[in-house]
Amino acid sequence: MTERMVRTEMVEERIDGYAAAPKAYHALAGLHRYLKQCSLERPLLNLVDLRASQINGCAYCIDMHWKDAVAAGEDPQRLYMLDAWREWGGYTARERAALEWTEAVTLVASGHVPDEAYRRAREQFGETELTELTLAVAAINSWNRMAISLRKTAGGYRPGEHE
């Protein structure tokens, strides 16, 4: 029997990316501003942001998107069941297609976004919507990579802080 190692030390932020490159952060935030007013409903985008962050293991973004979704009125059960969305019937067909698309685009290197995921997404989303959904997945993956690699400290986020 092997003993499992548990990381107990506090993760220290490596770089304050916003302070180091504010123009770059503003550019990525511009995409976020666009997505806030795009054709996709905000609760759907909240699920996409949280699911991609779970896949990537981004503690900061999981904390942020969970808190923002609850503050916006999302049912916490739908959030804690998100990791098992395929086995739980609490999501609409549109949400399920978006979650499948989110996983396929986030894990693009392992499956190159299968045709079946595209087919199911196109049943629920028009061309503009699917393009915006893909941009939303790309954006959260960018934020995840920034937060993970620069070790953004999780736990202290307040809902709406980045609005």
Q: What is the total count of domains within the chain? A: 1
Which CATH number fits the domain that encloses residue 137?
A: 1.20.1290.10
For the cut 60, the answer to whether the pLDDT of residue 1 exceeds it is no
Pair of tokens at residue 64: 């942020």
What is the reported pLDDT for 163?
78
Q: Is residue 6 a part of any domain in this protein?
A: no
pLDDT tens figures, 75-88:
999 999 999 999 99
Domain assignment present for residue 102? The answer is yes
Q: Is residue 124 part of a domain?
A: yes
Position 69 in a domain: yes
Taking CA atoms, 75 is separated from 80, 90, 125, in Å, by 9, 10, 24
Q: Which domain holds residue 47?
A: 41-149
Query: Is 153 in contact with 63 (CB distance < 8 Å)?
Result: no
User: What is the C-alpha separation between 114 and 105, in angstroms, rounded?
Assistant: 9
- Please state, rounded to an integer, the average pLDDT across all residues of the chain: 94
The reply to whether 36 falls in a domain is: no
pTM for this prediction: 0.91
pLDDT at residue 2 in the model: 45
Whether 12 is covered by a domain: the verdict is: no
157's tokens: 């986020």
Q: Give me the pLDDT at residue 162, please.
A: 83
The answer to whether residue 140 scores a pLDDT higher than 50 is yes
Q: What is the pLDDT of residue 161?
A: 87
DSSP string, the chain: -PPPP---SPPPP---HHHH-HHHHHHHHHHHHHHHTSSS-HHHHHHHHHHHHHHHT-HHHHHHHHHHHHHTT--HHHHHTGGGTTT---S-HHHHHHHHHHHHHHTHHHHS--HHHHHHHHHH--HHHHHHHHHHHHHHHHHHHHHHHTTPPPS---TTTT-
State mean pLDDT over 137-157: 96
pLDDT tens digits for range 86-105: 999 999 999 999 999 999 99
Please write the tens of the pLDDT for every residue from 53-78: 999 999 999 999 999 999 999 999 99
* 3: pLDDT strictly greater than 80: no
Whose CA is closest to 104, among 116, 89, 92, 86?
A: 116
Confirm whether 116 is domain-assigned: yes
Q: Which residue has the tokens 């997945």?
A: 137
Q: Does residue 145 sit within a domain?
A: yes
